[in-house]
């Protein structure tokens, strides 16, 4: 969702989402940041996110867009889970799931910007461990009308949320690349959302590692999805097709055609208007049509 380019207003957000749905795409993804530092005061502090760019809260954004679309799915990419209360996220996600008729796929991650954790009064150093327990709490609250839970970080005394998702669950996909993330995917996840790997043997090795961990948990690897991001910034249509074919053969279930992200092998498109972004994804869909 190229909010940085098209702006955060309701008209441009609605029009873009409806255009994406009209083009036949399955889902729309949006990032998550609550706080950003003042760019004038962060010199020498390393990687610190600033407030230069707008970020809509994913639940508010997708709640709005659920009323503006009919079938388009929604996926935070990713929600920074440990800077939020688990029960509150479970409630927000359940409400969005109900109001969108089951169109939410909840991507979660542990975050990297300590500025946000400080401002939200959450601990940065244990965010990974807490996030694992948070997922367990959320999955229990989605499934059961009343939950009793006593963990290291959470206590629920015979309480529950209402509404709950009709299916009793919301798909949880983990972002990140460290071994602990793969273990969490294998135990609790419906999918993995790695961004670091280009279409080469490194990705295949990582996928096989995850599948081995899933089997070790007594689960079927086919039940765990894989999402990769494919950069449209190069404008190289042969590469788009080649990479898409590679990912399909590798067992990837979701390919996000992105136009704004720029890091490592990912490149943003040159244009900055909604028309530029829509033109890029329209052409991409045409190029890979024979693989869909």
Mapped onto helix, strand or coil, the DSSP state of residue 140 is: helix
* Pick from 281, 199, 292, 195: nearest CA to 233: 281
pLDDT grade for 252, boundaries at 50, 70 and 90 = very high
Cβ 244 vs Cβ 289: under 8 Å = no
What integer best gives the mean pLDDT of the chain? Answer: 97
pLDDT grade for 152, boundaries at 50, 70 and 90 = very high
pLDDT grade for 44, boundaries at 50, 70 and 90 = confident
Q: Taking 80 as the threshold, does the pLDDT of residue 69 lie above it?
A: yes
Given this model, what pLDDT does residue 47 score? 82
CA gap 123, 277 in Å, rounded? 37
Which residues of the chain form CATH 3.20.20.30? 1-175
The answer for residues whose C-beta is within 8 angstroms of residue 276's C-beta and 6 or more apart is: 5, 259, 269, 270
What is the mean pLDDT of the segment spanning 257-266? 95
pLDDT grade for 45, boundaries at 50, 70 and 90 = confident
Please state, for a pLDDT cut of 70, what percent of the chain lies above it.
Answer: 100
Lookup: tokens for 279: 């033109």
CA 174 to chain centre: 8
pLDDT grade for 30, boundaries at 50, 70 and 90 = very high
CATH superfamily of 1-175: Luciferase-like domain (3.20.20.30)
Given this model, what pLDDT does residue 196 score? 94
Given this model, what pLDDT does residue 48 score? 87
What is the mean pLDDT of the segment spanning 146-168? 98
pLDDT grade for 216, boundaries at 50, 70 and 90 = very high
């Amino acid at each position: 969702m190229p909010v940085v380019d098209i702006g955060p207003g309701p008209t441009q957000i609605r029009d873009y989402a409806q255009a994406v749905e009209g083009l036949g795409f399955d889902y729309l993804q949006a990032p998550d940041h609550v706080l950003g530092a003042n760019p004038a005061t962060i010199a020498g502090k390393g990687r610190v996110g600033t407030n230069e760019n707008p970020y809509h809260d994913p639940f508010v954004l997708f709640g709005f867009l659920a009323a503006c679309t009919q079938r388009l799915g929604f996926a935070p990419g990713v929600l920074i889970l440990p800077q939020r209360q688990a029960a509150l996220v479970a409630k927000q996600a359940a409400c969005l799931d109900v109001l969108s008729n089951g169109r939410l796929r909840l991507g979660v991650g542990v975050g990297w910007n300590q500025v946000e954790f400080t401002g939200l009064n959450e601990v940065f150093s244990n965010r990974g461990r807490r996030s694992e327990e948070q997922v367990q709490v959320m999955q229990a609250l989605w499934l059961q009308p009343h939950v009793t839970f006593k963990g290291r970080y959470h206590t629920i005394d015979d309480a529950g949320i209402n509404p709950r998702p009709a299916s009793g669950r919301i798909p949880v996909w983990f972002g990140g690349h460290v071994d602990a993330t793969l273990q969490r995917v294998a135990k609790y996840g419906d999918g993995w959302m790695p961004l670091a790997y280009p279409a080469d043997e490194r990705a295949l090795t990582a996928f096989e590692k995850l599948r081995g961990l899933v089997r070790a948990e007594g689960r079927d690897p086919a039940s765990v999805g894989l999402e990769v991001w494919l950069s449209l910034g190069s404008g190289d249509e042969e590469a788009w097709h080649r990479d898409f074919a590679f990912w399909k053969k590798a067992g990837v279930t979701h390919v996000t055609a992105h136009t704004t992200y720029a890091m490592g092998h990912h490149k943003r498109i040159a244009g900055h208007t909604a028309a530029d972004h829509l033109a890029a994804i329209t052409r991409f869909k045409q190029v890979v049509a024979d693989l869909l």
